[in-house]
A and B are shown apart, each in its own frame.
With several copies, the nearest count.
Chain A
Amino acid sequence: MTELMSSGIELMFAGMGIVFLFLTMLVFVINMMSGLILRYFPEEPALSMSVPVAVNSSSDTSYIAAITAAVHQYRSTH
């Protein structure tokens, strides 16, 4: 067997090993994460989890919303 082939086979074992190691650890971590979340941060009914973005969102995006709202109010007074 050539040296190239042996490094290929070594690579295969290392590679599949790491892929399995990685994804197996991911399984454990996900289970842990889900457990912690479901226990300590259970999803409240309805939409309560949604961050009140509209209130303190970015200066860039909420421009439109703000200005639209403002213009409406402004126009409605004219």
Chain B
Amino acid sequence: MENLISLWQSTGIYNFTAGQAFMMLIGFLLLFLAIKKGFEPLLLLPIGFGAILSNIPVAGISEEGGILYFLYYGIKLGIFPLLIFMGVGAMTDFGPMLANPKTLLLGAAAQVGIFASLIGALALNVIPGLEFTLKDAAAIGIIGGADGPTAIYVASKLAPDLLGAIAVAAYSYMALVPLIQPPIMRALTTEAERKIEMQQLRHVSKTEKIIFPLTLLLLSILLLPSATPLVGMFAFGNLMNACGVVERLSQTAQNELINIVTIFLGLAVGSKLSAEAFLQFKTLGILALGAIAFAIGTASGVMMAKLMNRFSDTPINPLIGAAGVSAVPMAARVANKIGLESNPHNFLLMHAMGPNVAGVIGSAVAAGVLLSLIK
């Protein structure tokens, strides 16, 4: 009898708090979005599952002794996001960007989204009950970078309490890029601009692809050492792939290793989706600011492309500016798709890959600035 009472008192039904139940619903929602809607399933499925597991009463899966508690160390120590970034580096082909380097400026412009939402977060402090510090604001702003590992790395350093919400927002908006970007792109461009055909890209030699990651790293070392953990691991992955002499390491970095770390990172991010941390007015602010960041980044990229068209003799289709937010390769595909609507013979995909990967560099640089200036 005592046993039965003790068992009843150890059931989930007996111990559930409303917050835990609600967070579990959020977890199921993420699973639904991942599986049924195809929202960044590689990340949102583990994150959603991690959210469910960490909100189970009594079990303590994300408390000391639980598996999610230990996995979270990989984020806390900054290891998981950097290893994923290394794998992403190994997957990235800088060819299109090297063939047309000025598209880097589009990747720069799109980072306005980061800083605009940082300011936005600070502005929201006028609302009673919201209190974002500069660190919080910076971590929120980085959602606008549209790069999962960068956002998680920065958030884990500056605002670990907001990590769950920030990661969820970042990956959700990346998945929503095909919905968020087109109206903005259409509103800011004329039909004639969207029809612009771009010059064929030149062939990029293997040597250029080998030297580029080293150049990038060197520049980052000289100007912005605080960005070098991110830029360095990215460049390392890219070099492993480009150089062609360590094929087996490169393959492992972009397959098994990144997969293993993705599973662990996803679960661990999910473990930060606790009721206390997530069910706050703040979270709504984060979600709103994240959407604004993506929108402003898209707009800035497009406007920058239009500006460059004024001064450049080789034409640039402004649609590819939107790809500057990164969200690789979705944003590039969106640019391609909108371009095809206006001109069915105009394939912008390769042209958009330039600003797309430039956006990855841009946000890593922005992350370096934030990590270096905010103490």
Contact = CB atoms under 8 A, between A and B. Distances in A.
Interface residues on A, range: 35 or more
A78 B201 CA distance: 9
Interface in B185-216: 200-201, 203-208, 211-212, 215-216
Interface residues on B, range: 35 or more
Interface in B32-52: 35-43
A20 B223 CA distance: 12
Interface in A12-55: 12, 14-16, 18-27, 29-31, 33-34, 37-38, 41-43, 49-53, 55
Contact of B42 (A2, A60, A66, A74): A60
B101 interface: yes
A63 B91 contact: yes
Nearest to B227: A22
Nearest to B258: A60
B104 A43 contact: no
Of B7, B101, B125, B206, the most chain A CB neighbours within 10 A belong to: B101
A10 B203 CA distance: 41
A33 to B, nearest CB: 6
Q: For the complex, would chain A's binding face be called helix, strand, loop or mixed by DSSP majority?
A: helix
Interface of B: 3-4, 7, 35-43, 84, 87-88, 91-93, 95-96, 98, 101-102, 104-105, 107-108, 111-112, 114-116, 118-119, 122-123, 125, 133-134, 137-138, 146-148, 174-175, 178, 200-201, 203-208, 211-212, 215-216, 219-220, 223-224, 244-245, 248, 254, 258, 262, 326-330, 332-333, 347, 349-350, 353, 358, 361-362, 365-366, 369-370, 373-374
Given A18-B7, A18-B223, 12 more contacts: A8-B122, A12-B118, A26-B101, A49-B205, A51-B244, A58-B40, A59-B327, A62-B330, A63-B329, A70-B350, A71-B95, A73-B347
15 contacts: A8-B137, A12-B119, A15-B369, A21-B223, A22-B219, A22-B365, A23-B358, A29-B215, A33-B212, A51-B36, A55-B38, A59-B146, A59-B327, A67-B91, A70-B329
